[in-house]
Structure 1
Amino acid sequence: MAVTVDSTGSSRGLSGVGVAARLRALDRPLTSYYLVLTSTLLLVALGLVMVLSASSVESYRTSGSVFSVVQKQAIWVSIGLPLMWVTSRMSVATFRRLAFPGMAISLLGLAAVLLPGVGHEVNGNRNWIHFGGPFQLQPSEAAKLALVLFGATVLARKQRLLDRWSHLMIPLVPMAAGVIFLVMLGGDLGTTVVLLAILLALLFFAGTPMRFFGFFGAFAGALVLLLIWTEPYRMRRVTSFLDPFASYHDSGWQGAQSIFALASGGLTGVGLGASREKWGYLPEAHTDFIYAIIGEELGLIGALAVLALFAALVVAGFRIAARSRDMFVTLAASAITAWIAVQALVNMGAVLGVLPITGIPLPLVSYGGSALLPVMAALGMLLSFARQEPGAQAALAARGPGPLRRAMAWLGFGRSPRT
């Protein structure tokens, strides 16, 4: 290998030049855009494969077809991808206009869940609305996106007044408290934790003094403890995660089976589709505990690959927030990133047995349209923000029309890509 010597007498190999080139690539205008897009598409694709694998036994038992669950997930993905594309083309002004109507609709949905005959309880949480047949909606998932839009809009409008406590806290904190209170009435501990993380991210990146977070952390902790204390099944979940084998045939069953799945996966896994835990041993294998099936079938390598994809998504999200000169973009990007990061960590922590089981899905990977669509809409927002980074528009213009636009031009819609 050729070696050069700089003016200080130290040697520098070509490998150092390669590292420098890779570091420079991270400063390119479209780095954030491609990180978000690639990570999202890979996680969604992996999710479809793993939902098929994890649900195949249950699907065949209930419907006679191994594809019944994954077909529904594929429908949600086919809706989510165009939704993400649409939000990636929307302007900041449009997002801000949607903030107040979105919050109003979310509050109505959360209140409707509590009405007799409208709301439906699943696994101890009253957080679903049934529309007949297989169609159901979980308003608390959409409330996460509504809180992001509302909080970022309100704080951006008050940017010059945020040195006053009254403007910093009102109306964001009371409105967020209302959303969280309605979710708490439904008994959804996992969503409560994620909503608190979104609120904290909005306040932190708006410049709230650090002393506030000590008080707020104590208050949030008290809320979580209240949710745990008021429901015996939730208390059993919290205590059983410390030693799931002590209550193996009761509340510790799910945690123990998750550990069995991860342990049997080893380094490279037992093979795609070869899970033993999905044969009726691990509850919620294709939803909340799909990460355990990933660890079992794809091993430590597969589990770490999923973790790396989420890490890339988080890095890109905070990079978008840091590079923006628009306070709304900074706050919204930070809150979306905190939302996905906290939800992924809480889910994976429960699967690994280091956190209590809270019943929230792994973003983009677990089965379920109510959780998938708001996340994909939020990631479309991140793509929209990434397209507005310094130099990004020029880089996109130099790249030429994308495959969708070329296909539309070929079909006769719009200009030909050659002109």
Structure 2
Amino acid sequence: MATKPKPDISPTGTRTLRTWLQTILERPLTSYHLVLGSSAMLLALGLMMVLSASSVSAYLAFDDAYYYVKRQAVFLVLGVLGAFALVRLPQSVLRVFGWIGVALATVLLILTYTALGFESGGNRNWIDLGFTSIQPSEFAKLAMIIWGADVLARKDRLIDQPKHLLIPYLPVCGTLILLVVFQGDAGTAVVMGSIMVGVLFIVGAPLRVLAVLGLGAVAGVITLFVTSPVRMRRLAAYLDPTTNLNGANDQANAAMLAIASGGWWGQDLGGSRQKWGGLPVAHSDFIFAVIGEELGLFGSLIVLTLFLVLGYAGLRIATRSDEKFRRYAAGGVTIWFMIQALINLAVVLRLLPIAGVPLPLVSYGGSALIANLLALGVLLSCARHEPEARKLLAARRNKTPKRRFSAVTESPKAADARKASV
């Protein structure tokens, strides 16, 4: 009886695998495909899990189990169209959009303090436009990144001087962050602060400057907790999981119970028990708990792997870019996704106190999803302008139109003469 060949685990086989992987990673459009593939799988998983996690609450509230997932699908289509437009935009137009975006984000954040603004989840960070509502702080993150990348790229030769490094970048970003802080949204403010400091690190800011900003950020976070009774209750609940079981600890303990009951392979898709009322707003900030319950450790690790691939691709784009603006923009978007995902996962796993931060590309929410997709459009645009990718795409553009043009305009006699000469 013939035996099956054993897998090649010899040093030669290892070298072959390493060579194959290196060949894949050296392709000009690898970064583009890594971002596109990982984000597409996260979006598909997110849409599926929003349906599963929200079906019960949607049926009870709206008599329609598909209410939230239908809205999420609409947001997804709008975001994809916006991302596709940003991918094709020239760099000069994108840089102008950064300035317009910062101005618009500032105005919208100020409007949250007027009659148009309203409170949701304890934070006054929403604007009612009549036909829909938006959360300006989500778009402020992207505007801050694009605008900051433009300003710091223009000041590249003067970046070693602290006044040129920090002005006007620090005051403008600080203003946007403070507007979010006064809304009561500490989680989003922390993410925006991390983006601001992270971009300065990518630019090459001196360590003493980063240290001062870091100490200021720590002091700011402490102040946010001390001045808010709600945050202090959340901190106390985080430090002692056995207290306030029907209050501040309710959501965190329900999330841990969901993850623990998932085991290795989960309770199967749609089999979550906590989404029946034990876990409030399961389709939003705590959607990872439902993923852990229904898909188990295996599904949770897939989500983590996809975020790691996206983070690797973003850093790869930033380090490979030969244009300062695209380097800073790609780095800022990557920092945004990774920091926000890290905070969300840490909250769900009880490693941090509860903070209202959604899981990028996965959690339910129109403003967050559209802003995430627009940021992906910027990242994909930067990937297409890596030096080798730019050369490859330029060669394709120069080659394809010539064939089409000659096939249409070349006369039969000219074609016969060309073939005869060959």
For normalisation by structure 1, the TM-score amounts to 0.91
Decide which of 332, 335, 340 is 1:338's aligned counterpart: 335
Provide closer, same or farther for how the CA distance between residues 55 and 210 of structure 1 changes in structure 2, counting only shifts above 3 A.
same
Residue 327 (structure 1) aligns with: 324
1:248 to partner: Cα distance: 1.3
For residue 359 of structure 1, what is the aligned residue in structure 2?
356
3-state secondary structure, aligned to 1:28:
coil
Instruction: Output the amino acid matched with 2:149.
Output: A
1:307 to 304, 326, 338: 304
Q: 1:196 aligns with which of 193, 203, 216?
A: 193
- Provide the residue aligned with 1:239 in structure 2: 236
- Deviating runs (4+, > 2 A) in structure 1? 242-247, 393-401
Alignment of 1:391 with 2:388, yes or no, is: yes
User: Over residues 377-418 of structure 1, what are the superposed CA-to-partner deviations in whole Å (9 max), with x where a residue is unaligned?
Assistant: 1111111111111221444467799xxxxxxxxxxxxx89x9
| Preserved contact between residue 261 and residue 277 of structure 1 (Cα < 8 Å) | yes
1:265 Cα deviation (Å)?
0.3
Give 2:77's aligned residue. 78
Distance apart, 1:25 and its partner CA: 1.2
Q: Helix, strand or coil: the match of 1:194?
A: helix
- Give the alignment of 1:156-305 within 5 angstroms: 156-305=153-302
Q: Report if the CA contact (8 A) 1:244-1:253 is conserved.
A: no
Amino acid aligned to 2:351: V
The reply to whether residue 39 of structure 1 matches residue 31 of structure 2 is no
CA shift, 1:131, in A, is 2.0
Please name the residue that 2:124 is paired with. 126
Question: CA RMSD, aligned part only?
Answer: 2.2
Aligned-pair distance for 1:54?
Answer: 0.3
Matched to 1:33, the amino acid is: Y
> How many pairs align?
398
**Shift of residue 243, structure 1, vs aligned partner:** 2.8
Tell me which structure has the larger Cα radius of gyration: 2
- Alpha-carbon distance in 1 for matches of 2:326, 2:390: 16
2:138 to 138, 141, 166: 141
Deviation at 1:254, TM superposition (A): 0.6
Q: Give runs of aligned pairs for residues 401-412 of structure 1, distance below 5 A.
A: none
SS at match of 1:58: helix
Alpha-carbon deviations, 1:157-188, whole Å to 9, x = none?
11111111111110000111110110011010
2:322 touches 2:387 (CA, 8 Å); kept in 1?
no
| 1:36-115 pair list within 5 angstroms | 36-115=35-114
Q: What 5-or-longer segments of structure 2 have no aligned partner?
A: 399-403, 409-422
Q: Distance in 1 between matches of 2:87 and 2:187?
A: 28
2:415 matched to which residue of 1? none
Q: Secondary structure at the match of 1:246?
A: coil
1:132, distance to aligned residue in structure 2 (A): 2.7
Letter in 1 for 2:57: E
Distance in 2 (CA, whole Å) between partners of 1:245 and 1:256 is 9
Amino acid at match of 1:69: Y
Cα distance in 2, alignment partners of residues 178 and 394 from structure 1: 40
Instruction: Tell me the secondary structure at the aligned position of residue 348 of structure 1.
Output: helix
Q: What amino acid does structure 2 have at the position aligned with 1:230?
A: T
For the 8 Å contact 1:29–1:395, the answer to whether it is kept is yes
Unaligned runs of 5+ in 1: 5-10, 402-414
Residue 118 (structure 1) shift: 1.3
**Structure 2 CA distance, aligned partners of 1:309 and 1:399?**
30
- Secondary structure of the structure 2 residue equivalent to 1:49: helix
